[in-house]
Chains A and B, each alone.
Chain A
Amino acid sequence: MKNLININDEHLKELENEAIFVMREVAAQFENKVLLFSGGKDSIVLVHLARKAFWPARIPFSLMHIDTGHNFEETLKFRDDLAIEFGAELIVKYVQDSIDNDRVVEEQGVNASRNKAQSITLLDAIEELKIDVAIGGGRRDEEKSRAKERFFSHRNEFGQWDPKNQRPELWNIFNGRKHSGEHFRVFPISNWTELDVWQYILNENIKLPELYYTHRRKIFNRNGVYLAWAPFMQLKPNEKVFETDVRCRTIGDITCTGVTLSKAQSLEEIISEIAATRVTERGGRYDDKRSEAAMEDRKKEGYF
């Protein structure tokens, strides 16, 4: 895994060409289009690719954020600034509203997370706004059930994914036809790896939230994963909060986003760190540790 930084970046060009092709198919085949924007690096890369795909026109998608209410403050500001800078419409839907309207029962206990509840809020928003396609930053290298995912992934009228009955996807022909009430999830960066995303961010000089770089933060250790501490998080008796230099490898809901001990200040340093690492990106995601098929089950229910 060493020396990956020096790899010929022509492969990034091919991945970019493919992602732009997919973005343009979405624009041509669907009516009511959103790009799922979390403030994380993958969705930031998606926005960048969308800008390239349609330049000099504006991005033909609204940005939609499903807000768990458990965010890193910096992410929200970054999100708002980005939407303004690129002239994109921003739609925010709150998990708290789903809880208040009794659509979701809030998880209790020390491991409580609103990660799973996001699916309900997302599906409600898709129905309410008559969205027929949601572009996501999911990548096949992230997780084993994602490895089976299509670029154009069909969802039935209940928003569910049927992994055993997916449409075959050949060459670069994408079939986005559907009945009313159904929708598609589209994943333009399906074929990218974590390292590809970082190298692309470096090559394209894409701005990221500061959370991705080293900073001082209060954290604690839960079952071998470092989690960022926040006032609403419950600690187990043996868990102690301490402050140290960390950075986020992924950014999601605070309750389930692991942080990495790191002093990496630049993209180059981050890339060296990732190239040398021996744990996958989602190894720090507490939401995936719940069971062997945790992601598969959430995806069937309508997760991102």
Chain B
Amino acid sequence: MKINGKSKNKSLLRFTTAGSVDDGKSTLIGRLLYDSKSIFEDQMEHIVQSGKRLGRKELDLSLLTDGLRAEREQGITIDVAYRYFATPARKFIIADTPGHIQYTRNMVTGASTADLAVILIDARKGVLEQTIRHSFIASLLDIRHIIFCINKMDMMDWSEPVFTGIKVELALLVDKLNITDAHYIPISAKYGDNVVERSENMKWYNGKTFLNLIETIEIRKNKNPENQRFPVQTIIRPHTSEYHDYRGYAGRVAGGVFRPGDEITVLPSLRRSKIKSIDMFGKTLSETIAGDSVAISLEDQIDISRGDMLVASDDIPVISQDINLMICWFNERPLKVGGRYLIRINSNEAGCVVKSVNYRMNINTLEHDFENISVNMNDMAHISIKTSKPVFFDTYRKNNITGSMIFIDEGTNETVAAGMITVD
């Protein structure tokens, strides 16, 4: 869809940044905001004051991104923080996530809504276990675009061979992880080289600066344009004289394109009907695409409630009580084989029992562990579950929305895991 001659996907870019404090992640974000003039005077005054209190001599841009008191005191990032900035070309939402292994769950959280991942590498250290971990999480969460920023080039004499060496090593990792679109930029976040301004110290680098790349990279928002999926959130019944018989199914399109007249099947009842109208605040739409929040009404009176899904009649997702999936465990209490949890998949909810842990991922080496596989906080594992009723789903690779779920502990109501459905 084109609007004002501009391509639709030039609008909003959500990206996640991974790397530890030592990699200069906060400094990179600070630099990006500073050089793109997105830091306001009162924020600037604030980081100058904080820096003085902490006894820093140079302007410390990393102070800009630490939100909570404990984070400022300890100089660490604990939780995902969201940052916003805009350039004339695009608007950006950054999910800034801590990079240490004990915060894997936060990185997974930040990655779940990202179109692109930025992974920092310290040029002095090259590809480390954590680089593998960050790349693996990005690929597992199906982030299609990755930018590797090789940082601290200033400490390696701006050396091209150093950069090339790391790039070759990363390319092997990228192949192994099936990452389709990878970019490599030599930077110095501290001095700003190749962040917003082109580096005077690395004239050998002909590629884009970091900002220029994220401004121009093509992102396909609708990852699943073919398969029609519409999970029902709630039913709109106005009970007014004007709209006495109106019954709208409110939801956000999770895949495909819907148009009035389309033949659809309702899950789980398998009843069929046709789309009568697609409404949004008094406007009747001729079509609606993935990402749109709309209300759909049908030709026939069918019993439909929250958790049901409208799908194309000739393209029905998997309906089953047995699911295999990769999970990231979030809770201090380990996963229990045989344990019962609630799952939420879209607006649908069901009980489940964990049948088996098939393997635990060693996310630093990408090896599978089969021995003594307890699943603790921040672990990733492949498991099989049985649900209390048939649920309908796609694989995560096919559709990130209809293929993802969370696990809830019924006793504490906490979200204890996130899951991505796999083929087997």
Interface residues, chain A, with chain B CB atoms under 8 Å away: 1-4, 6-11, 13-18, 20-21, 24-25, 27-28, 51-58, 140-141, 144-145, 147-148, 163-164, 166-173, 175, 177-179, 190-191, 193, 195-196, 277-280, 283, 292-293, 296
Contacts and interface: CB of A to CB of B under 8 A. Distances in A.
A1 B37 contact: yes
Contact of A148 (B79, B238, B404, B415): B79
B188 interface: no
Interface residues of B, number: 78
A179 B68 CA distance: 27
A164 B68 contact: yes
Classify the interface of chain B: helix, strand, loop or mixed. mixed
Interface in B370-424: 400-401, 404-406, 408, 413-415, 418
Given A17-B292, A28-B233, A168-B330, A52 B418 contact: no
Contact of B86 (A16, A17, A191, A195): A195
Contact of B233 (A6, A24, A170): A24
Contact of B70 (A10, A21, A164, A283): A164
Most buried by B among A7, A164, A293, A296: A7
B38 interface: yes
B82 A190 contact: yes
A170 B70 contact: no
Contacts of A17: 252, 291-293
A57 B418 contact: no
A189 B330 CA distance: 26
A280 B39 CA distance: 9
Interface in B194-252: 221, 233-234, 236-240, 242-243, 246, 250-252
A128 B202 CA distance: 65
Contact of A28 (B81, B93, B347): B347
A60 B401 CA distance: 26
A8 B43 contact: no
27 contacts: A7-B88, A8-B10, A9-B11, A10-B8, A14-B11, A17-B291, A17-B293, A21-B252, A28-B234, A28-B347, A55-B236, A55-B279, A55-B281, A55-B295, A56-B243, A56-B246, A57-B237, A168-B109, A170-B406, A173-B345, A179-B413, A277-B40, A279-B42, A280-B40, A292-B46, A293-B69, A296-B68
B27 interface: no
A4 B36 CA distance: 13
B424 to A, nearest CB: 22
A8 B42 contact: no
A194 to B, nearest CB: 9
Interface in B78-93: 78-84, 86, 88, 90-91, 93
A13 B10 CA distance: 13
B3 A8 contact: yes
Contacts of A11: 11-12, 91
B293 A24 contact: yes
Contact of A283 (B42, B69, B80, B108): B42
Contacts, number: 183
A170 B404 contact: yes
Contacts of B55: none
Given A8-B3, A10-B3, A280-B43, 9 more contacts: A7-B86, A10-B10, A18-B293, A57-B237, A141-B83, A170-B404, A172-B252, A172-B401, A296-B69
A262 to B, nearest CB: 17
Nearest to B64: A144
Nearest to B68: A163
Contacts of A57: 236-240, 243
B64 to A, nearest CB: 9
Nearest to A190: B82
B415 A168 contact: yes
A191 B414 CA distance: 23
Contacts of B282: 55-56
Contact of A14 (B6, B12, B70, B342): B12
Interface in B302-361: 306, 330, 342, 344-347
Interface string B267-295: 00000000000011110000000011101
B105 interface: yes
Contacts of B43: 280
Given A28-B234, A170-B108, A179-B413, A164 B79 contact: yes
Contacts of B102: none
B344 A191 contact: no
Nearest to A295: B67
B404 A53 contact: no
B175 interface: no
B114 to A, nearest CB: 11
A82 to B, nearest CB: 17
Nearest to A3: B88
B180 interface: no
B40 A148 contact: no
A52 B347 CA distance: 20
